Amino acid sequence: MKKILLSFLLAVPILGYSQSYQVNLQGQKQTAMGGAGTGVALDEAAVFFNPGAVSFLKKNGVQAGGSAIFLKAAFKENGSNITEYTKDKLTVPPAAYAVFGNPNNRLRFGLGVYVPFGGAVHWDPNWTGKYTVTSLDLQAIFVQPTLSYKITDHIGIGAGFVYSNGKVDLKRGIPLTLNDGTSATAQLKGHSHDFGWNAGIYVETISGVTIGVTHRSQVTAQVKDGDAIFKVPQALQDGFPTKFNANLPLPATSSIGLGFYPSSKTIIAVDANWVHWSKYKVLAFDYNNNSRIPNTSSPRNYHDGGAVRVGIQNMATERLALRLGAAYAFTPVGKGYVTPEVPDANRILLSAGLGYKASERFSIDLSFLYENIKSRNETNIETNLSGDFKTVAYIPGIALSYKW
Amino acid sequence: MNSKFIFRSILAVAVVTAASCKPELKTITPSKGSADFTRYIAVGNSLTSGFADGGLYLEGQQNAFPLMIGTQMQTVGGGTFSMPFFNANQADGSGYKKLSSFTATGDPVIVDVPAQAAIGTANVPGFGTVPLFTKYAGDLNNYGVPGIRLNNITLTYYGNLNPYFERLLPNTSPANTTSYLSFVNAKPFTFFSMWLGNNDVLGYATGGAAVAADFPTDKALFTQLYNLAASTMIKGGAGGTGAKGVVATIPDVLSTPYFTTVTLKALLTAVQASAPTVQAIFIQPGTGAPRPATAEDYFLLPLKAANLIGKPNGAGLPYGLHPGNPVESKYVLDKAEAAVVADYTNSYNATIKSVAAANGLALVDANALLKVYGAGKVVNGAAVSGAYITGNLFSLDGIHLTPFGYAIVANEFIKSINSQYGSSIPTVDVTKYRGVKFP
């Protein structure tokens, strides 16, 4: 056992996982297995992980669940002796799926509702980096109706149309002093409605190994006429904007996954992802009034993020499944571009979970994911904010499913 | 692959996570290095005292950079740092300037907040009448005295002339007989900061070189006095066993908003709005006849508030627009005078650097520092520059710093001390300090 655990840890540095404000909590089984699931037809969450595998599901079903993200980020300015922490801010991205159609037919239908991008980082309103950001709440809920078709008994293809409903709420301090000695603030909040797609192929090979290949398209979250709420000195208020426009890329992800079945009770899933973060060049805000402040364009210059993950499921009994996974990730954020709204770095992920079949139809799945984002000493090229960042996250999750 | 393995592994994951509940960052180990911060004293002028917005008042004192340093030193064995605060009920101190509004054209309207700590006057024979402030008699670590020049520090009667010094002394003017250098050395200390010399050239510059008595201190005298001051300070005061310290150069006053806000171009643009044919602003230079100003002459900040340009004199000649009624010398530092300021500043700074090196003292190149920040720099996401009011660096008087500016200076002192003495005094969070207050 020790050997196997050790091999997991040694394998970690070559594995990958997506980054920044991408969220990878779309299925409790998969989350418990390090986030792998592209190359296996595990459950209804295949609507997200591989639409091509949906037609291989043996039963129809619905499932709904969520993961509670407890994230804590720390910052210590270079030269200072004070470590500042983000406030506790619980976010619970939901995920729900339905798969229907006759399991004996080649064509099956799916519907998914999930949150592939999001984040909630809340620093103290008066923290060291307040002029860069004090809080960011970001969430994009995707709704994905899906068709999946078995071309042959061993090859399935599938595709889904994605509607994205996004919201963003960004706050920061403005380096102008109000009459009471406190600093001015800005809040930018808005909604977006955008579209994309998700497609995949699933193949059962003669050797028994299953293979999945998927691509989830980029969705560009476009905020039009968002509210720009500037709390600035009264004498200057007229010169500040009230509305803003902004575009935020929610990047495409290409994945390949493999499924191995060493025994009738055991599944091993291995995934590799490529996240096209290099589309995220700048974070730009265009304002409706530029007499006091210009439009801003903050360089991000992300590069692509690569990703591989591995997970294992074992049926301990007829009713109880145990799961385990691990991953390592390379950040898309280059040196000089780390910002406190997403203090990203390479990260190690460890996951575990279990599933319990209460009856033929009802089951419950639990997962626990631990993310350790490495500490990073950075000086931002735009803001000159300079110091150590370190983040950890604890993410327990639960899902209920009903099959027929 | 058996279930027992996975089950045990789940436990292992739980153990790993439980072991690292909150992200931990390596902190610096507090160390005083080769210095001793038991009693730190700050020697200097207005910049040391916390002077801002044209006055010394409680909020400015609370944001004095030596207080920031003294507070940070407490993490590495520093003692209490006492400030000669004005009483809370006299918080406005000497009075100061306040931004009250903007005109329709966007010009700042600046008003005077009256003094609260002025309690009367004294007559000093041979000098005249001086104001008196409420005295401060408590413990003292910040000896900053606004207005003091290096060539004042050995004068035994100076405590009768400068009300900011007088309020720290036991006797009421004109009964004081202690020189500044003796006063700060009357008690032992282990560490000092000394930022002196600014006023030896400042008054000449800010007065438009119009008053002969303001002429910069003789360079040789400056060197002699700076050596005396440094060699005295490193003894650690009466009863002391020696002190380490930090000194700072003199900023380039010509790059402060006091000299950069009112420009020839801005004046001409304003005049041409109503009189498009006007092509020159006439000034009275330090020597010679009135002449048209060039871009190399400096107009001083008070010229704007005085609002004189174009006003006809008795003979009907418009102020500044006719050689017969030029902008007065007190509002102009002409090219030749500016060269004097630069020459003396450079000479003083060469002295300060060499004395610091000779005595093994830490050095803050405040001249270089304020040039860098004055030219524009982003600090933790906040834009900082030498722009008047909006630049976050300089207070409303255009010469002294905002709390934000003083925090930047404090950190530079801390870094210099740490680098010279191998200590690890933590820096302050500059974003906790304000810029100019807006209405």
Average pLDDT of the segment spanning B51-74: 98
Distance from CA of A4 to the nearest CA of B (A): 9
Query: pLDDT digits over B330-366, tens only?
Result: 999 999 999 999 999 999 999 999 999 999 999 999 9
When pLDDT is cut at 50, 70 and 90, the band that residue B2 belongs to is: low
pLDDT of residue B12: 67
B-chain residues within 8 Å CB-CB of A179? Answer: 437-439
User: Contact A1/B377, CB-based, under 8 Å?
Assistant: no
pLDDT of residue B17: 56
Helix axes B366-374, B403-421, angle to 10 degrees: 140
Q: How far is CA A167 from CA A1, A128, A288, in A?
A: 45, 26, 20
pLDDT of residue A14: 33
> Mutation test of the interface with chain B: which of A384, A388, A389, choosing the one with the most B Cβ atoms within 10 A?
A384
* Residue B18 CB-density burial (10 A; 0-12 exposed, 13-18 middle, 19+ buried): exposed
Domain boundaries, chain B: 40-252+334-432, 264-333
3-state class percentages of chain A: helix first, strand second, coil last, to nearest 5? 10, 60, 35
Position A230 pLDDT exceeds 50:
yes
pLDDT of residue B10: 67
Position B368 pLDDT exceeds 60:
yes
For residue B439, give the nearest of A85, A234, A263 by CB distance.
A234
Q: What kind and span of H or E run contains A5?
A: helix A2-11
Query: pLDDT digits over B234-264, tens only?
Result: 999 999 999 999 999 999 999 999 999 999 9
When pLDDT is cut at 50, 70 and 90, the band that residue A341 belongs to is: confident
Return the structure tokens found at A217.
Answer: 């398209």
pLDDT of residue A308: 84
Helix (H, G, I), strand (E, B) or coil at B44: strand
Distance from CA of B375 to the nearest CA of A (A): 16
Provide Rg for chain B, Cα atoms: 26
Beta bridge mates, B109: B101
**Cα–Cα distance, A342 to A333 (Å, whole number):** 10
When pLDDT is cut at 50, 70 and 90, the band that residue A21 belongs to is: confident
Give the list of residues 6+ apart from residue A235 with CB closer than 8 angstroms, or none. B101, B102, B438, B439
Position A377 pLDDT exceeds 60:
yes
DSSP B59: H
B-chain residues within 8 Å CB-CB of A315? Answer: 3
DSSP A239: G
User: Contact B24/A74, CB-based, under 8 Å?
Assistant: yes
The CATH architecture of the domain made up of B40-252+334-432 is 3-Layer(aba) Sandwich (3.40)
A-chain residues within 8 Å CB-CB of B432? Answer: 126
Tell me the residue type at B188.
P
User: Contact B23/A236, CB-based, under 8 Å?
Assistant: no
Under 8 Å between Cβ of A311 and A280: no
pLDDT of residue B20: 52
Query: Which of the pair, B68 or B13, is modelled with greater confidence?
Result: B68
Position A6 pLDDT exceeds 80:
no
Query: pLDDT digits over B86-102, tens only?
Result: 999 999 999 999 999 99
pLDDT of residue A50: 97
Average pLDDT of the segment spanning A234-263: 94
Share of chain A above pLDDT 90, in %: 84
3-state class percentages of chain B: helix first, strand second, coil last, to nearest 5? 35, 15, 50
Helix (H, G, I), strand (E, B) or coil at B192: strand
Position A11 pLDDT exceeds 60:
no
pLDDT of residue B430: 97
User: Contact A352/B10, CB-based, under 8 Å?
Assistant: yes
Tell me the residue type at A384.
N
**Cα–Cα distance, A104 to A56 (Å, whole number):** 10
Give A 374-393 residues with CB within 8 A of chain B.
Answer: 375, 382-385, 388, 390-392
Q: Which residue has the tokens 């000449």?
A: B204
User: Contact B435/A131, CB-based, under 8 Å?
Assistant: no
Query: A160-174 burial, b if ≥16 CB within 10 A, otherwise e?
Result: bebebebbbbbbbbb
pLDDT of residue A15: 30
Query: Which of the pair, A175 or B208, is modelled with greater confidence?
Result: A175
pLDDT of residue A328: 84
Average pLDDT of the segment spanning A3-29: 58
Helix (H, G, I), strand (E, B) or coil at A22: strand
When pLDDT is cut at 50, 70 and 90, the band that residue B27 belongs to is: confident
Give the list of residues 6+ apart from residue A210 with CB closer than 8 angstroms, or none. A39, A40, A41, A202, A203, A204, A258, A259, A261
pLDDT of residue B106: 84
Position B28 pLDDT exceeds 90:
no
Share of chain B above pLDDT 70, in %: 96
Beta bridge mates, B364: B248
When pLDDT is cut at 50, 70 and 90, the band that residue B13 belongs to is: low
The pTM of the whole model exceeds 0.80 = yes
pLDDT of residue A12: 35
Under 8 Å between Cβ of B183 and B275: no
Average pLDDT of the segment spanning A50-78: 94
Average pLDDT, chain A: 91
**Cα–Cα distance, A99 to A45 (Å, whole number):** 9
pLDDT of residue B156: 96
CA dihedral of A374, A378, A380, A385, whole degrees rounded to 10: 110
pLDDT of residue B135: 96
pLDDT of residue B211: 86
Distance from CA of A146 to the nearest CA of B (A): 34
pLDDT of residue A16: 28
Distance from CA of B378 to the nearest CA of A (A): 6
Position A290 pLDDT exceeds 80:
yes
The answer to whether A14 faces chain B, any CB pair under 8 Å, is no
Over B155-183, what HEC string results?
CCCHHHCCHHHHCCCCCCCCCCCCCHHHH
**Cα–Cα distance, B278 to B293 (Å, whole number):** 13
Distance from CA of A76 to the nearest CA of B (A): 7
Superfamily of domain A28-403 in CATH is Outer membrane protein transport protein (OMPP1/FadL/TodX) (2.40.160.60)
**Cα–Cα distance, A8 to B5 (Å, whole number):** 13
Tell me the residue type at B289.
A
Q: What φ, ψ does residue A276 adopt, rounded to 5°?
A: -85, 60
